[in-house]
Amino acid sequence: MNTPPRMLAAGLLLFSLTAAAVPAVAQEPITPPEEGDPVIVYTHKFKPAEFEAGKKLVIEGFSDAIVDHGHDRLTFFMVDEHATEVVVVSVFPDEATMKDWQAAGVRHEVLEKLEPMRRQPLIFQTFTLESLHTTMDNGQ
């Protein structure tokens, strides 16, 4: 499957910012991802009339589901209002955690609610973090 250049550029930008990112739901400082960590990119393409409700459900629904599920991960929620898309990038600490999330009932509950709002099926892509580079000082 070819990955659109826009998606790759967005992913690279996200990973370069990871060290300074603090997720809204984080209780503790998150450890930056490491080379070899599994990454999943989910693209939700909504019907225009359903975009706002879908965006809210993706961000709030999955944020709550991640907390309820209990595994650590770094997740970015990106929005393209003109294309009525929400892209979610999740970086997992290992394969087992990623597979456990994929099978989680709380995840599937949110997906079921989103299904009628989408204009096409969920796009699901898996990657391996090859390299992480940042030039940020982070106050050190």
- DSSP states along the chain: -PPPHHHHHHHHHHHHHGGG---TT-SSPPPPP-TT-EEEEEEEEB-GGGHHHHHHIIIIIHHHHHHHH----EEEEEEETTTTEEEEEEE-SSHHHHHHHHH-HHHHHHHHHHGGGBSSPPEEEEEE---------TT-
Q: Is residue 7 part of a domain?
A: no
Q: Is residue 32 part of a domain?
A: no
Residue 70, both tokens: 């209990």
Q: What is the mean pLDDT of the chain?
A: 83
Does residue 29 lie within any of the structural domains?
Answer: no
In a domain, 79, yes or no: yes
pLDDT: which is higher, 2 or 35:
35
Q: How far apart are CA 23 and CA 74, in angstroms?
A: 7
Stretch among 65-69, 119-123, 132-136 having the lowest mean pLDDT: 132-136
Residue 23 lies in a domain: no
Tally of domains in the chain: 1
pTM: 0.77
Q: State which residues form the domain around 80.
A: 37-128
pLDDT digits (tens, 9 = 90+) for 12-47: 445 444 444 444 444 556 678 889 999 999 999 999
Q: Is residue 59 part of a domain?
A: yes
Residue 42 lies in a domain: yes
> 71 pLDDT band (50/70/90 cuts)?
confident
pLDDT of residue 38: 96
Q: Which amino acid is at 3?
A: T
* Cβ neighbours for 128, distance < 8 A, ≥ 6 positions apart: 36, 37, 38, 39
Give me the CATH number covering residue 67: 3.30.70.100
pLDDT digits (tens, 9 = 90+) for 76-106: 999 999 999 999 999 999 999 999 999 999 9
4 within domain boundaries: no
